[in-house]
Amino acid sequence: MEAIPGACKVCKWIIKKMRKSIHEGSTEEVIRESLEAVCNKTFMLKRVCRWFVKKYIDRLTKELSTSDDVRTICVNLKACRPRSLLDFM
């Protein structure tokens, strides 16, 4: 996943938008519908966004049902690299 330019940025953007548009207790159906619509809200990375959502819709739906933060979700999806100890020095 890291080989795809902008995947981490797109993932974070999608998760942030989704957190604003869904509520705790949202059904999987509501989450899926919101995921399918979220890419229409961007112009520059629309194609990458649609590819990302299509490829990971099942995993995104499950991850959005958790209370994990944006970065953790994107690391779990392998869109972003985990931070190493060197990042904190």
How confident is the model over 16-34, as pLDDT tens digits?
999 888 887 788 888 888 8
Per-residue pLDDT at 70: 94
Please tell me the pTM assigned to this model.
0.78
DSSP characters for 12-81? Answer: HHHHHHHHHH--TT--HHHHHHHHHHHGGG-STTHHHHHHHHHHHHHHHHHHHTS---HHHHHHHTTSSP
pLDDT tens, residue by residue, 59-79: 999 999 888 999 999 999 999
Question: For the chain, which domains are there?
Answer: 7-88 (1.10.225.10)
Decide which of 83 and 82 is more confident.
Answer: 82
Please, which pLDDT band fits residue 4 given cuts at 50, 70 and 90?
Answer: low
pLDDT at 45: 76
